[in-house]
Amino acid sequence: MTVLLQLSDQTERLLRTARNLTDASAPSLCRGWTRGHVLTHLARNADGIARAARGAVEGTGTSMYDSPESRDADIDAGALRPLADQVDDVASTAGPVADALAALVAAGPEARVPRTPDGPTFRSARLPEMRLREVVYHHVDLDAGFTFADLDSDLVSFLLEDQVRRLRHTAEPPSMHLRTDEGDVFAVGGGAAYVTGSRAGMLMWLARQDPTGVRAEDLPTLAPGV
């Protein structure tokens, strides 16, 4: 799977959905956020990832955001704009982040990227996958008809495997086996409980704690925001 090609395709799908929205103040699947918050976050995330990608290529170590507080303030303020302005914001930031990520992949620097100037760092090579994840997950969060089941099987598998890895690295991962209807098996935290469902249903449960697409005798509790 080519991440940049998937990112281009998923960004276009996101924009098609966004352009058909009629109410930015409607609730999203992100607790406490409207659709306007989600759209604004996507635009500011594009800015942040593009800035970090350019910093990695140039060797400046530029962070994604100035601070968590400024990031949140920008999202709250942007969420109050007219819907058309929010959609234009997402569209206008999509090109620069795509260009910055393409340059990053071509240069291939082994750099560490900070989220904020004094925050923890991560490998710059993760930036394309991070942006793809943001675009897909928050497309679903708009709650406008697009779900993980609308993705091609390779992308669902990629995101599901990534979500399982993230879950395994939490402080106290739940003990369970995950078995998808497509034949995948994942063990987490020892694997005491058994949870089954489609890949898309499993991803929705792990990513957004929505259990409607999974089956279990005793469904483990997931921490939000994994």
CB atoms within 10 A of CB 207: 24
The residue among 64, 208, 69, 70 whose CA lies nearest residue 139 is 208
**CB 148 within 8 Å of CB 159:** yes
Q: How far apart are CA 200 and CA 136, in angstroms?
A: 12
Is residue 226 over pLDDT 70?
A: no
The residue among 92, 125, 91, 123 whose CA lies nearest residue 107 is 125
SS3 216: coil
Binned at pLDDT 50, 70 and 90, residue 51 comes out as very high
CA-to-CA separations, 4 to 23, 49, 190, in angstroms, rounded: 30, 14, 35
CA-to-CA separations, 18 to 25, 89, 133, in angstroms, rounded: 13, 11, 17
Is residue 58 over pLDDT 90?
A: yes
Domains plus CATH for the chain? 3-146 (1.20.120.450), 153-215 (3.30.1050.20)
Binned at pLDDT 50, 70 and 90, residue 225 comes out as low
- At residue 2's C-alpha, the angle toward residues 163 and 96, to 5°, is 95
Whole-number pLDDT of residue 190: 83
- From the number of C-beta atoms within 10 Å of its C-beta (0-12, 13-18, 19+), residue 103 rates as middle
* Average model confidence (pLDDT) across the chain: 95
Place of tokens 């779900």: 147
CA-to-CA separations, 116 to 40, 51, 77, 119, 210, in angstroms, rounded: 19, 12, 20, 5, 31
SS3 180: strand
Binned at pLDDT 50, 70 and 90, residue 191 comes out as confident
Is residue 181 over pLDDT 90?
A: yes
Q: pLDDT digits over 1-31, tens only? A: 799 999 999 999 999 999 999 999 999 999 9
Give the percent of the chain with pLDDT over 90.
90
Q: pLDDT digits over 75-107, tens only? A: 999 999 999 999 999 999 999 999 999 999 999
Whole-number pLDDT of residue 205: 97
What is the identity of the amino acid at 78? Answer: G
Whole-number pLDDT of residue 13: 98
The residue among 41, 31, 18, 34 whose CA lies nearest residue 133 is 41
Q: At what angle do helices 35-58 and 68-78 cross, to 10 degrees?
A: 140
Read off the pTM: 0.95
Is residue 124 over pLDDT 70?
A: yes
Q: pLDDT digits over 145-173, tens only? A: 999 999 999 999 999 999 999 999 988 89
